[in-house]
Amino acid sequence: MEWWPGIRWNDRPISVESAAFAATYTFLAINGWPISSNPDATYRFMFGIYERQNFNFEALVAWLRLNTRPAL
């Protein structure tokens, strides 16, 4: 699964959540810390926190610490 095609499912406008994820993904990759989690697990976490309406910065930071690794 590629990340960028997933941003526009069924030609819908890009959601705020999708744009936020794209910005986070790009920022981390440019700075040498790509997300190491598989795409399905990343999707479930990232969009799950929005769907459940329980976005918690501390939980996001903890998840990112577990699921990013410095690029070699």
Asked if residue 21 is part of any domain, the answer here is: no
| Contact status, residue 17 vs residue 47, Cβ threshold 8 Å | yes
Asked if residue 66 is part of any domain, the answer here is: yes
Asked if residue 4 is part of any domain, the answer here is: no
Our count of domains for the chain comes to 1
Give pLDDT tens digits for 52-62: 887 788 888 89
Nearest to 34 by CA among 26, 43, 22, 46: 26
Asked if residue 59 is part of any domain, the answer here is: yes
Give pLDDT tens digits for 3-57: 455 555 555 566 777 778 888 899 999 999 999 999 899 888 888 887 888 778 8
Asked if residue 16 is part of any domain, the answer here is: no
pTM of the model: 0.66
